[in-house]
Chains A and B, each alone.
Chain A
Amino acid sequence: MYDFTEEELNRYSRHILLKDVGVEGQERIRAAKVLIVGAGGLGAPVAMYLAAAGIGKIGIVDGDVVDLSNLQRQIIHTTPDVGRYKVESAKETIQAINPSVEVVTHRDFLMANNALDIISDYDFVVDGTDNFPVKFLINDACVMAGKPFSHGGILRFEGQTFTYVPGSACYRCTFDGPPPAGAVPTCSQAGVLGAIAGMLGTIQAAETLKYFTGVGELLTNKLLTFNAKTMDFRKINLKRHDRCPLCGKNPTVTHLIDYEQATCDLASHKASNK
């Protein structure tokens, strides 16, 4: 049991007032250790809401620096942060929001050779990454380690997310492997409305808090998708399936893999738009 100070009881009073959360739920939040992979469009709102919520320990993995084009959606970083490491900038914002959160920065990219080691220190992982190789890596590492995680993806005006807990459908039950590199949307087809990242990230943050407090039903075995153009939200039932290459009966994915990813070259995009 953790004894909250008067100040903390005041800070978290709107959580504690919730019958489903209460002091006990807040204690669970205080004891929680969450790893956020990617301090970008999704990771930013996730980290900020989890910091405000009083998560005890937040780890952030990102090897990148803040670019001006990030600021349209990555609200944890501000204009003077351009050029700084994202993990440093994110840590500063988190500590400004809530100094009692322990922040661990992993100034690195998640790879097959460090993923299991990094996630081992945490109770829950949030996928806030921008590419398929790491999305599959997070899925595979979490399934292998029996670690719950929240998956998130956004594209243009759409978003999708599901929550994994050991035993539920994993990413590969629905998307058996990364799409061929040539099929990944090119720059002119990609892009994203900044606020969509906030919509999806806050759903992921809410799922994380629901996981620790045990409130309600998680998005396990369900893919939540939305289209912000129409504001249509759908929940599609997912099933763990026997032929899943990772969690099925005869798995073919037995170790972590670093997939190749075609990168989006903005310079050539500008040239092609002339």
Chain B
Amino acid sequence: MANIIVNGKKQEVTLPLTLVDLIKLNDILQPDMVSIQVNEEFVERSEFETFTLKEGDQVDFLYFMGGGAI
């Protein structure tokens, strides 16, 4: 088991774990609507499948929010 920080909260996970695995694990409904930063560095969408996480990583799921005036 390893601990990572997801959106500011501690999460226990089993390694190895890719970003795609984490997306599934956390039931992200619309993966197309998130942008991901690991340790405050932007990760390209094309790397989600190969990007492996390690103990202590800080992951931020940033959601597209388009509303405002509709």
Contacts and interface: CB of A to CB of B under 8 A. Distances in A.
Partners in one complex: yes
Q: Which of A182, A183, A223 has the most CB of B within 10 A?
A: A183
Contacts of A43: 68-69
B70 A155 contact: no
Interface string A215-234: 00000000101000000001
B37 A192 contact: no
Contacts of B32: 179-180, 182-183
Given A174-B35, A236-B37, A236-B60, A128 B67 contact: no
Interface string B15-54: 0000000000000001011010100111011000000000
Interface residues of A, number: 46
B42 A153 contact: no
A19 B7 CA distance: 36
Chain B interface category by residue count: 20 to 34
Interface string A163-190: 0000000000111100110111100001
Nearest to A155: B65
B66 A130 contact: yes
B70 A40 contact: yes
Contact of B68 (A153, A174, A225, A237): A153
Contacts of A192: 67
A43 to B, nearest CB: 6
A159 B64 CA distance: 10
B68 A239 contact: no
Interface in A34-93: 38-43, 62, 64, 74
B62 interface: yes
Given A173-B42, A179-B32, A179-B33, A130 B69 contact: yes
Nearest to A153: B65
A239 B40 contact: yes
Given A179-B32, A234-B7, A239-B42, A174 B66 contact: no
A184 B66 contact: yes
B62 A237 contact: no
A234 B8 contact: yes
Nearest to A74: B69
A255 B52 CA distance: 35
Ranked nearest first, the 10 interchain pairs of A and B with the lowest CB-CB distance are: A40-B69, A153-B65, A183-B32, A130-B69, A38-B69, A130-B70, A42-B68, A154-B67, A155-B65, A130-B68
Interface of A: 38-43, 62, 64, 74, 127-132, 135, 152-155, 158-160, 173-176, 179-180, 182-185, 190, 192, 197, 223, 225, 234, 236-239, 241, 243, 264
20 contacts: A42-B68, A64-B69, A74-B69, A128-B69, A131-B66, A131-B70, A132-B66, A152-B68, A153-B67, A154-B67, A155-B65, A173-B42, A174-B37, A174-B42, A176-B35, A176-B45, A185-B66, A197-B67, A234-B8, A238-B40
Given A74-B69, A130-B67, 6 more contacts: A154-B65, A160-B62, A184-B33, A190-B67, A192-B67, A241-B41
